[in-house]
Amino acid sequence: MEDADLPSNYYITFAAILSTVFSLVLPWFLTQWSITKLAHLIIPADADFLITNYLPELRDAVSSVHTTLEEKKNIAGMFFGMIIKILYAFLWQEHFIPITNVYKHPFLVSLGGALLPDINSFSNGFSGFAQTDSNVENSFGVYPGDTHCRHYSPHAIWHEESANGLLEIVFLTDAINGILLKKTSN
């Protein structure tokens, strides 16, 4: 794997997914403008790679793909549902968004853990993905000690919801792949 052409960090991977979703839903000029702005804001160290290398390749790859309005709405809904879970997870990742007063306040951490099923349900309403594990969606019996950990450890909330969000990324990319395969096989 040493010579594999893999992204250096997960920010690039996520930026590539975001760019692809935008390119299938928005006109190209809006995709390029918004991804350029977001790249400089969120991943300044890797912005040049994304803008100079990835976006031109993506533009060529999707130039002949024309999604219908219904497909655009579906992709946007799936993306929005996924991003809710990812953002909620990052809210509880102590190093990404350093809001120490929240992380040290037992009531807020407990509330954050208790809201997991509601966040998941809300997200699923947008994405429309059939969930594979009701325990994960309902935040019950997910891992040993979960009822204790998610009410005192923000990092436990981060791990639980990021795992759920990563599954949503898989569902999203699989759905997009299905749309693209249909278009290229016609």
What tokens were used for 36? Answer: 């350029």
Residues 145 and 125 in one domain: yes
Residues 73 and 54 in one domain: no
Question: DSSP labels for 103-169?
Answer: HT-HHHHHHHHHTHHHHHHHHHHHH-PPPS-HHHHHTSSSSTTHHHHTTT-HHHHHHHHHHHHHHHH
Residues 47 and 130 in one domain: no
Q: Do residues 126 and 80 make contact, with C-beta atoms less than 8 angstroms apart? A: yes
Phi-psi region of 4 (alpha: psi -120 to 50; beta: other; left: phi over 0): beta
Can you give the pTM of this predicted structure?
Answer: 0.87
Residues 81 and 129 in one domain: yes
Query: What is the mean pLDDT, run by run of 10 residues, along the chain of 186 residues?
Result: 60 91 97 96 91 96 93 97 95 80 87 95 93 88 90 91 94 94 78
Residues 7 and 35 in one domain: yes
Dist CA 140 CA 96 (whole Å):
26
The residue range of the domain holding 21 is 1-64
* pLDDT tens-digit readout, 37-70: 999 998 898 899 999 999 999 999 999 999 999 9
Residues 93 and 151 in one domain: yes
